[in-house]
């Protein structure tokens, strides 16, 4: 009888130890982190050919549209162009031939792909005709 009682006690102890091992091996659940938005761009426009860091910019978020004054229009144009700023259709407009260069900068992410865009335009009107609402100034 002692043998069976001892075997039951050992078996119970082993089961308890196994349960402790399983419980301690399970990783603690971390608080869920909010994923960054997939479609966002940090936009700046500088006078001349200055670097992007020389002028404060604006953050454009597209899910839902937030940021610059014409965020919804800019997001729709980007969506139609597949996130390619150079793919935004050129608007038919008349611009003066005054040389007042501006450089448009955009960096961010569109549908999980990195976006990096820098282009110098001869003046703000030409920039607006080429980039739609993306770099539009709030007036």
User: Can you give the pLDDT at residue 22?
Assistant: 43
Could you tell me if residue 16 is inside a domain? Answer: no
Could you tell me if residue 20 is inside a domain? Answer: no
Could you tell me if residue 113 is inside a domain? Answer: yes
Say which DSSP state 87 is in.
G
Could you tell me if residue 53 is inside a domain? Answer: yes
User: Can you give the pLDDT at residue 1?
Assistant: 47
Residue 44 forms beta bridges with which residues? Answer: 105
| Residue-level length of the chain | 139
Number of domains in the chain: 1
More reliable by pLDDT, 122 or 12? 122
User: Can you give the pLDDT at residue 136?
Assistant: 86
User: Can you give the pLDDT at residue 21?
Assistant: 43
Global confidence as pTM: 0.68
Could you tell me if residue 84 is inside a domain? Answer: yes
User: Can you give the pLDDT at residue 102?
Assistant: 94
Closest to 102 measured CA to CA, from 33, 42, 35, 48: 48
Dist CA 106 CA 118 (whole Å): 7
Query: Domain range spanning residue 68?
Result: 40-131
Q: What CATH number should be reported for the domain holding residue 115? A: 3.30.350.10
Average pLDDT over residues 61-81: 93
Closest to 59 measured CA to CA, from 81, 39, 85: 39
């Amino acid at each position: 009888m002692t043998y069976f009682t001892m075997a039951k006690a050992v078996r119970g102890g082993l089961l308890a130890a196994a349960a402790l091992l399983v419980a301690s091996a399970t990783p603690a659940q971390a608080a869920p982190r909010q994923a960054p938005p997939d479609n966002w761009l940090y936009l700046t426009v500088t006078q001349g050919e200055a670097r992007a860091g020389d002028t404060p910019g604006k953050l454009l978020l597209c899910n839902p549209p937030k940021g610059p004054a014409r965020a919804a229009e800019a997001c729709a144009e980007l969506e139609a162009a597949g996130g390619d700023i150079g793919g935004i259709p050129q608007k038919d407009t008349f611009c003066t031939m005054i040389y007042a260069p501006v450089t448009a900068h955009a960096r961010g992410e569109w549908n999980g792909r990195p976006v990096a865009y820098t282009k110098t335009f001869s003046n703000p009107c030409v920039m607006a005709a080429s980039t739609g609402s993306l770099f539009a100034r709030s007036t």
